[in-house]
Amino acid sequence: MPVTLLAGIPASNQTLYHQIQFLVGDAAAYLEGLPPDGKSLLIVRDIELDRAREIARADTVACAQDFTPAGGLSGDRDVATAQAIVEVLKQRGVTSVVTDRTLPFLYASHLLEAGIALALDDELGVRTRRVKSAAEIKALEHAQKVTGEIMTLACKWIATADVNSAGELMQEGEVLTSERVRRRITQWCIERGFSNVSDSIVVSVPHVADCHHHGTGSLKTGQPVIVDIFPRDDTSRYYGDCTRTVVHGTPTEELVAMHRAVVAAKQAACEALRPGTTGDAVHKVTVATLKEHGYEYVPGSMEHDPKIPALRHGTGHGIGLDVHEPILLSVDGGEILAGEVFTVEPGLYSSTLGGVRVEDMAHVTAGGYEILSPLYEGLDWRGV
């Protein structure tokens, strides 16, 4: 059994946090498969020892000072942790370790300088995070439920606004802008114990042609607004991710047709989700469904008239402790496993007609899929 190493700051390195289940904002390092008994060792800051020994998932918990090399430890905590890891490996006679894609170069440098060979396993930590446990599914479902509640508030706020003489939406006597809606979304997140880590997307014409533009400026009646909310639950640290499209007033016939195509594509993609198929195959179902409705898939790297509605991105992505996790439901997306959770989010975007995106979170089961916390997906949110 090879010795494996994960290291970094658990508060930001989700693979390390997932392994040790111990949240801390200082350097930590985890070794597994150490000789002679193959057990695991976690190194944390000295003041975290008691808490880590009670909570962390590791056979032994120690601090860097327990493995001080002959030359002493650096006063820098990150460097000291790397030095301690080298000392542990030397004491156990370990000459090579396997690590994951998240290892900071600081650790790699100290290992290589000490003559300890380092190999990358780019699937280490990835596969275990892809397949969610029952507790993780519950956490994701709760995160998505709360995200849906916030989505409903945001879409209703837009749908029930007043209109000024310029066609701009008004709430509480002020023009309703993308920025103002995002600030309100953040407030709603905080009230529910969630963090709007990367800010939300509230975007309309013309910026919607850039499918990841966060939106700016006033919102107007008759124009679709894409609202994409992806907050993190402060308790579980799992993410919700939901997108809906709302129109204040009466949508155009073309917009209704775009929405119909997107909803059909999302449904078809969800029905294609099953263990053993691939992310690539699911994406092809999305593309084929949109094509049946008269719309094309134009990848972001291709030249395209932004006025013509088109799908510009993949169908979705894995989700969990990070909002974007492997694998992708997109071109060359790999094999899908039972227990994975994906976002499914087809969309159509035009700089003049507006955009539509509808996104749900789907749990892949042995027999197909389950939508976590379903939510209304129409364009008119006034009575929701």
Domains in the chain, please, with CATH?
A: 4-124 (3.40.350.10), 131-371 (3.90.230.10)
Nearest to 161 by CA among 204, 123, 118: 204
Tokens representing 142?
Answer: 């709760």
User: Are β-strands 96-99 and 28-34 bridged in parallel, bridged antiparallel, or unpaired?
Assistant: unpaired
Examine the pLDDT at 105 and tell me if it is beyond 90. Answer: yes
Q: Please report the pLDDT score of residue 329 as a whole number.
A: 98
Q: Please report the pLDDT score of residue 202 as a whole number.
A: 98
Q: Please report the pLDDT score of residue 240 as a whole number.
A: 98
Percent of the chain with pLDDT over 90: 97
Contacts of 363 (CB under 8 A, 6+ apart): 132, 137, 140, 339, 340, 341, 369, 370, 371, 372
Examine the pLDDT at 4 and tell me if it is beyond 90. Answer: yes
State the distance between the two ends of the chain, measured CA to CA, in whole angstroms.
56
The confidence band for 302, taking pLDDT boundaries of 50, 70 and 90, is confident
Cβ-in-10-Å burial (0-12, 13-18, 19+) of 182 comes to buried
Examine the pLDDT at 1 and tell me if it is beyond 90. Answer: no
The confidence band for 300, taking pLDDT boundaries of 50, 70 and 90, is confident
Alpha helices in the chain (DSSP H): 14-20, 49-55, 77-91, 105-113, 126-130, 134-159, 178-191, 253-272, 279-292
Length of the chain measured in residues = 384
Distances (CA, A) of 366 to 29, 135, 159, 274, 338: 35, 17, 39, 7, 6
Do the beta carbons of residue 96 and residue 119 sit within 8 Å? yes
Q: Please report the pLDDT score of residue 328 as a whole number.
A: 98
Percent of the chain with pLDDT over 70: 100
Share the mean pLDDT of the chain.
97
* DSSP-derived 3-state class of residue 208: helix
- Give tens-digit pLDDT for 194-238: 999 989 999 999 999 988 899 999 999 999 999 999 999 999 999
Examine the pLDDT at 277 and tell me if it is beyond 90. Answer: yes
Examine the pLDDT at 324 and tell me if it is beyond 80. Answer: yes
Q: Please report the pLDDT score of residue 253 as a whole number.
A: 97
Q: Give exposure, 240-278, as e/b (b: 16+ Cβ within 10 Å).
A: bbbbbbbbbeebeeebebbbebbbbbbbbbbebbbeeeb
Q: Please report the pLDDT score of residue 159 as a whole number.
A: 98
Q: Please report the pLDDT score of residue 212 as a whole number.
A: 81
The model carries a pTM of 0.95
